[in-house]
Amino acid sequence: MMSWAASPQRKGKEAANAAMDAALSVNERILRDIAACYAEPGAGETAEPQLDPAALQPGKDKLMAICSKLGLSCIAPRRKINVMIVGNHSAGKSSYINWYCCEHVQTTAVAIETSGFSFCTSGKKRETLRGKATLQLFEHLRHDLKGFFPAIYPGLSTEVSTSKERCFNLVTFIDTPGLVDGSFHYPFPVEDIIVAMARHTDLIYVLFDPIGQALCDRTMNVIERLNEQHATKMRYFLSKADTVPLERDRQKVIVQITQNLSSRIRNKHAFELPSLYIPDKSSTGSESIDNNIERTCDEIESAVHQNVQNNLDKLGEDCQLIDETICSLLKQDDVARAHNRRAALYGYALLALSLQPLLFALAFALDKMALPPLGQLRLVAPQAHAIAIAVGVALVDSPPPAALALRPDSAADGAAAPEADRPSLGGAAGLLSLQQFLGGCAALFVALQLASLLVRRYRPAYSSRTRASLVATRSFVSSDLRERKARLYKSYLDQCSSGVS
């Protein structure tokens, strides 16, 4: 007789488990590599985004640091999916988590109920974290839970388990407080916190037990609010189905729950409420009851695969965003550099032109200083211009008789003498005096200097070193990271199907 250990069914199951383990290891490696593209392990929180391309370190900075230095807001993708479990008091939420990870992580008993939000995740060693340590571990929740500080601190805890069963190494369970009606008072607004945490979940399991059913108003209010924004994430189950041994009674319970839910949730095609129970704790004779607990595992595994695809897509989108941002910065810098070159050309041309009036004034002053005294003009050699000057001086010294006759009196002589002695640029009327000429030169110099300063207003431009860092960073993102993304995508597709061309 063939033993169970050597049976074909056993071998087929072992082969299936080995294939699933291999697939999960590939998924885990892909998610780990994607996380390494965003930040170094243990790098801590990234600073606020601020445009500072000069601080880029090509080849050393990861995507989070690159985005921060480029002024981009970037959120690193999560390596693990978040599964929130919501339900009434004693609906079996903690028991399901213990069954999934095959370890007693959450305390379970009839008289014990989870009073806070407990995060169950996989880690290197068994550990329990409280309050602020939980927020430090799940940093992405801080923004949405900020409005509930500090009342939420006592209600947060994390249970770190070393279990690697099923997909637990890629899953974080969020065990919510059991919802009850009546005068029970929570130390924090539990409904609002559940809705806030739902933004960061991939799946929301709603468990109804046969006793509580869908009769708790607080539970129904939470379900109604969750359906407004997260209807596609929600899955409904009838837990502890083994406590109702008769199929007819179970169908009545399912119908009653469905009727109560119909007025609370949006119209959903083919609404399902499968039943499940924990196999290890099932009562006698429960073998005939349909148990869909493995279906929850399939949902989680599908969510893990979807998370891998989403992370790969986000890696490509962030690389594209960085590439476009750097291209835009380089184009803006090219425009600024072209403007600065034109401004420098025109500005320095005006600066050189402003020196011309000074040169004219200097030449005129040197010419005046170089003229010999009038007494020496008569002794100069008879050159052409000297003869003309001498003749003019002689005419002035000995005017003709006709000119003497036209002189009215000696008083006119005294009045005209100072006018003749005043320096000018020429004897003819309408020419500038020396003071006017020098003043005009000074005014023209100042005007051209101001025009040069106005034209030479430069736009901010990056240094050659900063441009080189931008180009190198773009090359790193466009080539290295995109090639890594392509390799990871190929690895993921290879595990899904073989022989894909």
- Decide if pLDDT at 116 tops 70: yes
**Residue 367 burial by Cβ neighbours in a 10 Å radius (0-12, 13-18, 19+):** exposed
- Decide if pLDDT at 413 tops 50: no
- Decide if pLDDT at 383 tops 80: no
- Decide if pLDDT at 12 tops 60: no
Percent of the chain with pLDDT over 90: 6
324-342: average pLDDT: 90
pLDDT at 399: 52
pLDDT at 327: 93
**C-alpha dihedral, 25 to 29 to 30 to 32, nearest 10°:** 140
Q: What does the chain come to in residues?
A: 501
Q: How far apart are CA 38 and CA 47, in angstroms?
A: 14
pLDDT at 244: 79
List the domains of the chain with CATH numbers: 78-291 (3.40.50.300)
pLDDT at 1: 39
- According to DSSP, residue 79 is labeled S
367 against 47, higher pLDDT: 367
- Decide if pLDDT at 120 tops 70: yes
Mean pLDDT of the chain: 77
- Decide if pLDDT at 389 tops 80: no
For residue range 52-83, what is the model confidence (pLDDT) as tens digits? 888 888 878 888 888 888 888 888 888 889 99
- Decide if pLDDT at 225 tops 50: yes
Q: Name the residue type at position 145.
A: L
Where are the strands (E) in 229-334, listed by range? 234-238
pLDDT at 83: 93
The DSSP line for 155-183 is: GEEEEEE---STTGGGEEEEEPPPB--TT
449 against 1, higher pLDDT: 449
**C-alpha dihedral, 88 to 93 to 95 to 97, nearest 10°:** 180
For residue range 194-216, what is the model confidence (pLDDT) as tens digits? 998 898 899 999 988 887 776 77
- At residue 51 the predicted structure's pLDDT band, cuts being 50, 70 and 90, is confident
- Decide if pLDDT at 410 tops 60: no
3 against 433, higher pLDDT: 433
90 backbone φψ class: left, alpha, beta (φ>0; ψ -120 to 50): left
pLDDT at 5: 43
- At residue 425 the predicted structure's pLDDT band, cuts being 50, 70 and 90, is low
- At residue 174 the predicted structure's pLDDT band, cuts being 50, 70 and 90, is very high
pLDDT at 498: 55
pTM across the whole model: 0.69
pLDDT at 281: 66
315-328: average pLDDT: 91
pLDDT at 499: 45
